[in-house]
Structure 1
Amino acid sequence: MFKLFSSLSLNQHFVSGTVRSVSTYGGPLLFRSSAPMFAEPLKKKKRLDPQILKAREERKRKKIEKAIRKLEKVSKTLKPIDEVQLMASLANESGDRRRPSISHSNEKLEERIMASKTWSKYKHDEHFFNLQVINDLEYSQQRALNELREVSEELYQAAIEIDESLLPYNLEGPVETPPIENYQSPDGEYSDISKKWE
């Protein structure tokens, strides 16, 4: 009976009105069926009226243009900055707080210009004098080192040697708040409270 069953090849098997291919390869009791093919022939495309197609295209174009206009309008509005905006109470008092503009006489303006020029000349002379003092000190130092080198090379090497004790500099000042005992610092927690603007 198994021989007869294994030699059978059931090509078509009817189950509830659908046709399936059934085969018994891989053993007499191992049935495998292919997936049902429920496809149907493609429907013919209905020819639409060109006016209807044109109206559809026009609607799509208008919808896209409207979206573009909306985006352009939104792009012009600037993102408000809370730090720059004026408080309402101060905006109401702006008239009272505004100082009247003062017009100075020509003598007063000339006096201010002369004071500014005098101050500029004073600062220029001071800077030039400081540069001259620095140059004189460097020249005197170099001249003293040259004379020391003529007297003794060992003293010269000791004089130009860098003093390492001057370089490490540790400064510790008061902090804003004293340290909190047994404080457990948060490990990477971050809550973003910034406003979202779209």
Structure 2
Amino acid sequence: MTRKTKAAQKKPAVPKVPKEEKEQVRARKAAGLDYALTVDGHGRERLINGTAEAERKLEKSQSGVVRVRTVDPLVGISSLTWQQREAGKRYRDEFEAFSSVGAKGIAYQVRVDGGALGGGIPAKAIDTGRAFKKATDAIGHWDVSSVVQAVCCSGSSISEVAKQVDESRDVVVKLLKIGLDNLAVEYGILVPRRPRVA
């Protein structure tokens, strides 16, 4: 056999799955969105091309929380200052730390001593819960707090929040800025302004 016939008899090479697609498949499995996946001819799980679901980008954090995020809402609002963006990111980090640490479940077969020391809620969970509550209290009014939590913690866009609270986008952006300014003062990023005395 000549080299040409040997090359013609070789099996075709299996195309590699792009790294970004592999990450999206893993994130969808972690989020329980298996309906958005298909199996190709080589037995590998892939995104279904040409669908709106395949266009969405999921982001999996180190704590295991999966979020749908095409653009960070804090980056998408051009009128925010760097202090407001930094405060929003810190608040999001505290939320993720609080939601990832918690009391662990115990199997029914395990004997439990009700008076044992070291049981119950871990100290780290209590500390992260206190830090998140302190930051939430610093935001102020519950209307402002709900807007900040929707944008920073849930990753909702300004348009989505405006529909939820039935207000205009300008009002929602103003509420978000007020809440982020209060957070920036709480975190020490921004020095509070003193009121002018007439």
TM > 0.5 fold call: no
The TM-score, its normalising length taken from structure 1, stands at: 0.17
Higher RCO (CA 8 Å, separation ≥ 6 residues):
2
Rg (Cα) greater in structure: 1
